[in-house]
Amino acid sequence: MYIPVVFMGGQYNHLIVRALKELGVSSRLIPQSTSLEELKVDGLIMGGGPHSVNDGLNKLGRTPEIIERCTFPLLGICLSHQLIGKVMGGEVVKGRQPEYGRTLVKVLETDDIFLGIDREFVAWASHNDEVRKNGGRFTILANSEYCDVEALKVDKRPIYGLQFHVEVADTPRGKDILKNFTKLCKN
Amino acid sequence: MREGEVEEVRTMLTSLGLPFKVLTVEDRFLRALEGKTDAESKRLAFRDTFYTILGEAVKGEGCEILIQGTIAPDWIETSGGIKTQHNVLEQLGVNTMSSFGFKLLEPLLDLYKDQVRALARYLGVEITSSNRQPFPGPGLLVRCIGTVKEDKLDVLKKATFIVEDHLRQIAPPPQQYLAAIVEDDRTPAGRGIDKILSKVHDGASAYYLAGRATGVKGDDRAYGKMIVVSGIEEEPKDLFEMPEKVVHADREIVRVLYSISDNSAKSTRKKRIKRYFVIVRAVDTRDFMTAKPSAVSLQVLQEIAKGVLKDKRVVAVAYDLTSKPPATVEFE
């Protein structure tokens, strides 16, 4: 199985590659300029990064059009979660309180991504912006005290967004959630 | 360098059978750092001095290649603009051949600290080496917050020895434990923050220190304020949720420190001499990309403070309660 990670400039993008390799999946970082046509993959993950999607999507390479058109399973983390929310018609705003470090995520809908995971779990996050649904074509799967959309799933497509970081060691169930995503890629 | 570090490294390299040379170049570093207070300009001055000296040494030995142990967090943090790790050159477009006169070889670029340790164990490297605590390339410089002076470094060296001596013995030992130093220069935090604090802990109040520390927030560099919470006596582990509340109240804060022992009231004389504030930091982490403060007991911290305060140049000792993010493990 091959699931590359689009490098978005964030601190933990390379840790996603590490986590996938530890799950027995082959992976590497690929640039934002990679087009959908070039991607021969079983699934794709897009990492976090320092930009805000509200500063313009032109800094984010080909990622918006991949989100719009891809047919393989896709997971966006942090910045890329926000990007998915925006591309799917939601809104991205400055959070009422940014989250840095530990947060408690509450699952609203288990879906495939949270199978076998507790309804509440500790996760680590590092973000200023957050997603608002506002008519967006996705379902909210989880929230936290300070953030209304910690996880989302795009309607009728295998596309997920996670505001928190499954790839860091301080999110204890992170690897299990990532494993749930790789199972969706097994076809 | 820390107390006894040269000897320790000498023993380690001898046991590995590697030829080596010790250069005494302290003065060149101190000169390069003179008058600098900003964390990044200190790091850049260190990097240039370090590689200029190494370049001379490499040339003197007739070598062409420098092998160094740059690992993944180094280039990730440097190219992400969080902090300039001294050992990241090519990734920033620095041509080491034309700038310093050597080619670079970095075999560990793709690994994290815990993976390097596993590799070392696999290769049969002695456990004292494979489990050695990470010590930053720029040494105590990044724990000497703001201006670097010889007497400040001297206090820091002694404090570091005391902190390491105590925390090495607790079980399990934190992944990293260290001391940092800054001038004791305080400003009250104001009623807004005191109000937030007293809601959670009766009698708590806070003040800012004048020095600034490095942090990481939302994948961006943060170079911000340090706040000290005082007036309470609780186990540190019961205070781990406090930073998030305080950081939300003032977004410039990157460190929340907990005052363990404070002699400032005793030492008010007519002439106020500038003295130092020592910070103890201990973290639990797998790979240093994220980290939690360690649950060191108040009793151990009080013993450490007692030892550190024997040096009359130190006024107070505090414990760092901040996770990474929003802080980093080191201070600058």
ipTM of the complex: 0.94
B121 vs B127: CA distance, rounded Å? 7
Smallest Cα distance from B72 to chain A, Å: 8
Show the low-confidence residues of chain A (pLDDT under 70): 187
Does A26 contact chain B (CB < 8 Å)? no
* Encoded tokens for B130: 């494979």
Show the low-confidence residues of chain B (pLDDT under 50): 270
Question: The domain that contains B297 carries what CATH number?
Answer: 3.30.300.10
pLDDT value at position B269? 58
Indicate the angle between helix axes B298-308 and B150-167, nearest 10 degrees: 150
Q: Does some domain include residue B24? A: yes
Does B103 share its domain with B194? no
* Encoded tokens for B332: 């600058």
Q: Are A139 and A155 in contact (CB under 8 A)?
A: yes
pTM: 0.94
B235-275 pLDDT per residue, tens: 999 999 999 889 888 989 999 999 999 999 875 554 556 69
A101 vs B76, B220, B326: nearest CB: B326
Closest residue of chain B to A94, computed from CA coordinates: B218
Smallest Cα distance from B270 to chain A, Å: 43
Strand runs (DSSP E) across chain B, as ranges?
A: 65-67, 103-105, 176-183, 186-188, 205-217, 220-230, 253-262, 276-284, 292-293, 314-320
Q: Are B277 and B179 in contact (CB under 8 A)?
A: no
Q: Does some domain include residue B327? A: no
Check B80 against A12: CB less than 8 A apart. no
- Preceding omega of B325 cis (within 30 degrees of 0): yes
| Number of domains composing chain A | 1
Closest residue of chain B to A50, computed from CA coordinates: B219
Does B121 share its domain with B189? no
pLDDT value at position B201? 86
- Kindly report the backbone phi and psi dihedral angles of residue B184, in degrees, each rounded to the nearest multiple of 5, phi listed first: -80, 90
Active site residue A78: yes
DSSP result, A16-68: HHHHHHHTT-B--EE-TT--GGG---S-EEE---S--GGG-GGGGTTHHHHHH
Domain holding A82, by residue range, is 5-184
* Encoded tokens for B331: 């201070």
Which residues of chain B make contact with A102, given a CB cutoff of 8 A?
244, 292, 323
Which residues of chain A make contact with B251, given a CB cutoff of 8 A?
98
B192-204 pLDDT per residue, tens: 898 989 888 888 9
pLDDT value at position B267? 59
**Residue B305 is which amino acid?**
A
B294 vs B273: CA distance, rounded Å? 33
Q: Are B313 and B151 in contact (CB under 8 A)?
A: yes
| Number of domains composing chain B | 2
Spatial neighbors of A102 by CB under 8 A, at least 6 apart, are A122, A123, A124, A170, B244, B292, B323
C-beta neighbour count of B321 within 10 angstroms: 21
Check A98 against B251: CB less than 8 A apart. yes
Cα Rg of chain A (Å, integer) = 15
Check B218 against A126: CB less than 8 A apart. yes
Task: Please identify which of the residues A78, A81, A147, A185 carries the catalytic annotation.
Answer: A78
List, as ranges, residues 85-144 from B with C-beta within 8 Å of A. 112
Does B29 share its domain with B103? yes
pLDDT value at position B271? 53
**Domain end position, chosen among B130, B153, B176:** B130
Does B13 share its domain with B111? yes
Does B10 share its domain with B123? yes
Check B218 against A100: CB less than 8 A apart. yes
